[in-house]
């Protein structure tokens, strides 16, 4: 099997940051062998979040998701490594913490009484195209030309 080095955007959402889980998320990312290229703690504005979640505009969960993501600090991270997009999504687990397997971030750390679609600790890019677009939004200086 050939090595495919990729980059992805990982977000520790406001619930993860508020619960002090950023370090545990980063520990798991690094333990998996991925490299951290950039990290910044910030509270995103509505404009950034509307661009980030543009594909979900008009869906019932869009507004609550944007409001939640703007509600507090988010740890934004660019990570790289062999098949990091697929690998991090596997590491994150299913979107719904109740359905997420033990050993995954959401399975171990997610709380079932939180709103599963929004308050599920982390976000990870779902494709090469999404990763490039998302990294350019959150880290313009780190985007590849």
Active-site residue list:
123
**Residue 104 CB-half CA count within 13 A:** 23
d(CA 88, CA 3): 16
Torsion of CA 117, 45, 51, 28, to 10 degrees: -50
| Cβ 18 vs Cβ 133: under 8 Å | no
């Amino acid at each position: 099997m050939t090595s495919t080095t990729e980059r992805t955007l990982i977000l520790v959402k406001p619930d993860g940051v508020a619960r002090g889980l950023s370090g545990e998320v980063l520990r798991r990312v690094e333990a998996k062998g991925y490299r951290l290229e950039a990290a910044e703690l910030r509270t995103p504005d509505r404009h950034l979040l509307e661009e980030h979640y543009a594909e979900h505009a008009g869906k019932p969960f869009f507004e609550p998701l944007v409001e939640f993501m703007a509600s507090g600090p988010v740890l934004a991270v660019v990570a790289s490594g062999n098949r990091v997009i697929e690998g991090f999504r596997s590491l994150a687990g299913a979107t719904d913490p109740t359905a997420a397997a033990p050993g995954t971030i959401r399975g171990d750390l997610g709380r079932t009484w939180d709103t599963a679609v929004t308050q599920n600790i982390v976000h990870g890019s779902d494709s090469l195209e999404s990763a490039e677009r998302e990294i350019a939004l959150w880290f313009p200086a780190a985007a590849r030309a």
